[in-house]
Structures are given as structure tokens and as C-alpha cells.
Amino acid sequence: MKPALILHPSSLILHPLFTMSAIVELPDNVVVSRLDKLVSWCRKNSLWPMPFATACCGIELMATGASRHDIARFGAEVFRFSPRQCDLMIVAGRVVMKMLPVLQRIWQQMLEPKWCISMGACASTGGVFDTYSVVQGIDRFMPVDIYVPGCPPRPEQLIQSLVDLQEKIQREGTARGKEFLAPSRLRPKRALQEKGFGDWGLGENDG
Amino acid sequence: MMDESRVIGSLRAEFPDLTTDEFREQTRIVVPLEKLYAVLEFLKEQAALDYLIDVTCVDYLHYPTEKPDRFGLVYLLANSETNVRLTVRCYVGGPEPTVPSAVSLWEAANWLEREVWDLFGIRFTDHPDLRRIVLPEPFSAHPLRKDYPLQGRGERHNFPVVTRKEE
């Protein structure tokens, strides 16, 4: 694995190359990094998933946790059924309108920092269930970090989404979680909002 | 041992003007709404059909043609010892269709009738606890009616949006 700790001049310990005052001699076994990088490195390698499994995607989620695919290789094997102990919500399966308040409640009970993977076509868009009771994509009503296509996705796809999420956390993570309040994350997913029947919004880009 | 034809025969002796209806060698009894409870009571008490398998409903809104009694209510009955099975049908309609409840005959009718009320909006009088059973309580429609749009009337979008900012 690529070492996440890098040399950075803005660290608390001043680097001898960049300042002539306060020279600190570092022994060879000390690596200097930014706190944000270090915290993100810790977080991304110990994601604890909350399995919100409502349909057949949940079976694939279980297969991902089982020995053949073994999500423990990526440090995310600790499935917890209490939202207080989790920081990664995996919504695996369709969410009906009766279940959505439950999903939102569980999401709100999870401690910060937290991330959400929308697994499969149903959680992401409603899938084939374009009916009165099925929510057409959970991202209309709660934040989603990674979407996994598939019906259901294979375990490899879910693992790939986990790796992508780890990369995302490492790339933009901050110790205080400032990245969650970026405007792009707070913006509602307008592209997925329902148009009137017969009007598919062709020609307008809601982005 | 009683078989299906003997049950129907004894029923005809009691209610002479009942109509029947054949489909794939199965006889179904079609009962007018006024006699529904009396027929069910007879089948329970006299014909020993002690097991209510299902109460369900079909909405024949435009099928095959438009008709006033659009809902085909179905009672599936059986005897748990002789395996005699009988289907009772009753057509109801109107803006607020109302049917006498069968809970006083079979306890099993309780949840089954609640389901029919939930999805078809058929009210069962003298039901002890006629609440919705599948859909959430604030739901205002009966979605298995054929004139209810498949994608609903916006119920699936009627939720607050949880963002990270609010927490």
C-alpha cells in the first residue's frame, strides 16, 4: 500500500529546509505529515458499515462480507447493527415510503464523520419499481457519497466502491469534516428530481 | 364425507336463488351483498367450512365493460378435516362500498379485511379494528384500485430532505 504519510512544509514541526530558525533534528524513524492527511488515513482504513439491507442487494452485501470476497481486506469488516457504532451507511435495496423515515432516522443517529453508499439500482434510482410506494432514489432525501450500479451489484463492485470511497476520504478529508459542508455536497440532487409525465426535461441541464 | 357439490346442494336448499359460476371445473358461488353474511354464516355453522383461507378483492373497473359493482370480493373457505374448498364471490360498488365483516365468524378475517380496506377501500362494518395494515396511516388513497395512478399522487416524494447541514 502507498504510504499516506508525506512530508509537508506547513506541519507543526518546522522543516529544516524551509526555515533557518528553530531547526529540529528529526530521527530517521519519524515521518512528518499534515494532521488532516493522518486523520483521513486512519478513518478510511477503519470504516464500520451499517448494513441497511432491504432486498437482494443485501444478499450480495453479505457475500461481500463473507470469506470469498472478504471485505476485511479493506478494513471494513466490522458490520454493526447499531447506528451509534457505524460511520458508513450501505443502503442495499429498495426503500419504500414507509421505510424512508426509518432510514433517515438511522442516518441521523450515526456519528460524524459518516458516509453513505447507495448500493444497486433501486437505492440509487428506484430501479424497476416505478410505483407509488417506492422512493425513486434515496439521494432525494439524504446525502449519498458513492453510487454503485447493478441489479444487484456483484461483491467486486461493492468493494470497488469502498476503495473509491477510501480514495475520496483520503483526497478531501479534513480532521474537522469541513468537506461535508462544501456547497457541492449540500446542493440537492436536482438532476434526479421527477419531471412531469411526458416532460423529460430534454434540453435543459440541471446538473 | 362431504364434498363440494354436497355443500353447494345444501346451500341451494337454504338459499334457492343463488347463482354459480364455473371456471376450470371449480364452482364459485356468487352472492348478492344483502345475503353475504347469511351465506357465510350458513357455510361456517351448517356446512362446517371452519377455515377462512383468504379474503381478497379484484377491481373490475373497466373489465370487460364498465359496471356499477366494480369490486369482486372473494372469500376462500375450506374444511380443515375433509379438505372441501369453496369460493364465495360478492360484487360491490358505489363510492363507499360497505360489506358486513366476517370477523365474528372467523377470527382470521381480521387482518384479511384490514388489507382489503387498506388497498381497495372497502369498509367492513362491525370490524373490531379497521385500520390500515400495510400502508402508513397518513396515506389517503387505496392504491390497488384501478383508477389510482401507478406512480401514485406524490406520496413517495412527500418527505423532508436530510442534509449534513441540519445535523
**How does pLDDT run across B30-55, given as a tens digit for each residue?**
999 999 999 999 999 998 899 999 99
- Judging contacts by C-beta atoms under 8 Å, the chain B residues touching residue A133 are 135, 143, 152, 155-156
Checking phi first, is residue B72 left (phi over 0); if not, alpha (psi -120 to 50) or beta? beta
Query: Is the Cβ of A50 closer than 8 Å to some Cβ of chain B?
Result: no
Question: How many C-alpha atoms does A165 have within 13 Å on its Cβ side?
Answer: 31
By CA distance, what is B153's nearest residue in A?
A132
Q: Is A131's CB within 8 Å of B151's CB?
A: yes
Low-confidence ranges of chain A (pLDDT < 50): 1, 3-4, 9, 191, 196-207
Residue B23 is inside which H or E element, if any?
strand B19-23
Beta-bridge mates of residue A89: A50, A116
Question: Given CB atoms, is A108 within the 8 Å cutoff of chain B?
Answer: yes
Q: What does pTM read for this prediction?
A: 0.81
- The label of the residue with cell 378475517 reads B109
So what's the ipTM on this one? 0.82
Report which of A112, A172, A116, A104 is spatially closest to residue A141, judged by C-alpha positions.
A104
- Indicate the residue of B136, B150, B165 with minimum beta-carbon distance to A131: B150
Domain boundaries, chain A: 47-190
* Of A135 and B154, more confident: A135
Rounded to whole angstroms, the Cα distance separating A125 from A83 reads 24
Q: What pLDDT does residue A194 have? A: 53
For B55-93, write each residue's pLDDT tens digit. Answer: 999 999 888 888 889 999 999 999 999 888 899 999 999
At B4 the pLDDT is 81
pLDDT band for position B2 (cuts 50, 70, 90): low
Chain A nearest CA to B141, separation (Å): 11
- The reported pLDDT for the residue numbered A196 is 47
pLDDT grade, residue B164 (50/70/90)? confident
Q: Which fold has domain B4-151?
A: Beta Polymerase; domain 2 (3.30.460)
Q: Give SS3 for A119.
A: strand
The grid coordinates listed for A25 are: 533534528
Domain A47-190 classified CATH 3.30.420.40?
no
What is the predicted pLDDT for the residue at A103?
A: 94
Q: Is the pLDDT at B157 greater than 90, yes or no?
A: no
